Amino acid sequence: MKNSYNWTLEAFEKQGNLFLKWSQDAPFRAQQGKIYVFSGDSFSGPIAAWQWDFRGDSQSFSPWDSGLRWGTGWYCAYVAEAPSNGSYTPLVEIITDSTMGPDIAKEGKLVSKN
């Protein structure tokens, strides 16, 4: 069994909307995993949209049309609940920017736990 696992999040534009896709290679799910899109200027801003990472049958909702118009400055995060029903903690974060657009996805960065 591996000692570490990969969690990814990508944002891209499709049909004028912000789409997100994610994946992970762990043999287990993130506890209460969610994809958040925040408005404002930080990852603590108001939640503009969110989606569970997996359905109850372990099938992913990815890719997901957030229903939000494409643009720069969306703060997107793949989050999971800390053990023992703790607070939500980001696994991967990404901010949409001008280098992105139709068919140009940007991969998120893992959040450091140092």
41 contact partners, CB below 8 Å, separation of at least 6: 73, 75
12: which residues sit within 8 A by CB, 6+ positions away?
A: 19, 20, 21, 100, 102, 103, 104, 105, 106
User: What is the per-residue pLDDT for 8?
Assistant: 87
CA distances 92 to 15, 16, 56, Å, are 25, 24, 22
Model-level pTM?
Answer: 0.81
Residue-wise pLDDT for 36-90, tens only, equals 999 988 888 899 999 988 766 566 788 999 999 998 899 999 988 777 777 778 8
Alpha carbon of residue 54 to chain centroid: 12
Per-residue model confidence (pLDDT) at position 5: 76
As its CATH architecture, domain 7-102 has: Sandwich (2.60)
**Domain residue spans in the chain?**
7-102
pLDDT > 80? residue 26: no
Q: Give the model's pLDDT for residue 93.
A: 92
